[in-house]
Amino acid sequence: MAIKDVLLPLVGEPGAAAIAAIDKCMAAAGDIGARVSAIAVEEEIVVRPTVMVAADLADVGLAETVRSVTDADGLLRAADHAAIHFGVGFDHQVIRLSSVDIPERLVQAARLKDLSIVPLKSETDQSRAIIERLIFESGRPILICPERLAGELRIAFDSVVIAWDHTAQAARAVADALPMLQAAASVVIVTVVDEPTAAQLSSGAALVAHLAEHGIKASFETVEASGSSVGKVLASHVKRTASDLLVMGAYRHSRLAESLWGGATKTVITQPPCWVMMSH
């Protein structure tokens, strides 16, 4: 299925890293021939006065109605400039929400798009929470753009790595990423193991054959875990091979289990090594 209709959530402040990421997200959308619908969020932030006079104490609710908002207009200006520069079809809306309501509103919008391209602020819990909700509840794939790497990310996904473990999530990710895989010059399927089993080798070879039916020439290899986590091994492999895009299934285990014990999804979301396309 071609990717034609993309959601771009814009949350936060228009700092240099955020603007660079918006630029790359818009360019990537243009490269795959998609139209972008941006939702810029004016985040309502409760501001409570540090000093209250006696009259205020009679109405504590008064303090909770004093609010400020984030600079959604600045984010939209950056997106509009990028859309014009890269010749991307673009529409937008501004919505004002409390922080707790932001993920649900973005999930609702994402369900009616082919893909969400999400700038990730690695240092904020809110950014990761939005991505987790989109993964679990939108029913659509997401493409993560790490803001900290925005300056060095390439626009075209010429070199793609597929993280393959023969799970339903990985299979969904491969299917969702077919348009990117068909356009790539190099596609490498990677299974992270200590010692590969016959079943794992057979599964990788079968995926190579499956992709060939779609006109995609892929190769398969196993990468030794060597006692490290799968997420860290994948990140190291992507950096070593200078890959443009990592395709992977999200949350093979429950979100709670990964939160408590760690997991490949949590590791990659925390510090994405490049563009990352995820499906659940």
- What does the pLDDT look like over 71-95, one tens digit per residue? 899 999 999 999 999 999 999 999 9
Q: Which CATH class is domain 159-279?
A: alpha beta
- pLDDT of 159 strictly over 80: yes
Judge residue 229's burial from the number of C-beta atoms within 10 Å of its C-beta, 0-12 exposed, 13-18 middle, 19 or more buried.
middle
Could you report the per-residue pLDDT of 127-146, keeping only the tens digit for each?
888 999 999 999 999 999 99
3-state secondary structure of 37: strand
DSSP secondary-structure letter at 131? H
- Is the model more confident about 270 or about 105? 105
- Rounded to two decimals, the pTM is 0.88
**DSSP state string for 139-206:** SS-EEEEEGGGTTT--SS--EEEEE--S-HHHHHHHHHTHHHHHH-SEEEEEEEESS--HHHHHHHHH
Q: Do the beta carbons of residue 245 and residue 268 sit within 8 Å?
A: no
Structural domain boundaries in the chain: 5-148, 159-279
**Regarding the domain delimited by 5-148, which CATH topology (the fold level of the hierarchy) does it fall under?**
Rossmann fold (3.40.50)
